Amino acid sequence: MISMLSSQQSRPGICRSRKRSMATLIVRNVDEAIVKALKQRASRHGVSAEAEHRKILEQVLLQPAKQSFAEVLRSIPNVGNDSDFERVQDNTAHDVFA
């Protein structure tokens, strides 16, 4: 179960350049192995489990969506027709293997 409590106060020190309201997120019924892994990860990064949880949520939910392979292919500019790139046999070149 996840519940979110809205807060009208901004959190000092979190976002100094612009003030925005922050909510409180409560997550219940989390497997103990997940909690342990979160605490270990937070320890490796030298932050609290709460700060690590915020960082994970930001990375996962606010990162730009990845493009599919088809979208990447469609984004390649049209640079001409295949005939524009045909190989022209030049018989004047010397045989380099002779």
With bands split at pLDDT 50, 70 and 90, how would you rate the model's confidence at 67? confident
> HEC states along 42-66?
HHHHCCCHHHHHHHHHHHHHHCCCC
Mean pLDDT of 78-83: 82
Integer angstrom CA distances of residue 84 from 8, 79, 80, 87: 62, 9, 6, 9
pLDDT, residue 35, reads: 96
Q: Does residue 14 register a pLDDT over 80?
A: no
pLDDT in tens, 25-39: 899 999 999 999 999
Mean pLDDT of 65-76: 89
The residues, any chain, with a CB within 8 Å of residue 56's CB and separated by 6 or more, are: 38
Query: For residues 9 and 73, which has the higher predicted lDDT (pLDDT)?
Result: 73
Asked if 23 contacts 5 with a C-beta cutoff of 8 angstroms, the reply is: yes
Residue with tokens 């320890």: 43
- HSE of 61, CA atoms in CB hemisphere, 13 A: 6
Query: For residues 20 and 28, which has the higher predicted lDDT (pLDDT)?
Result: 28
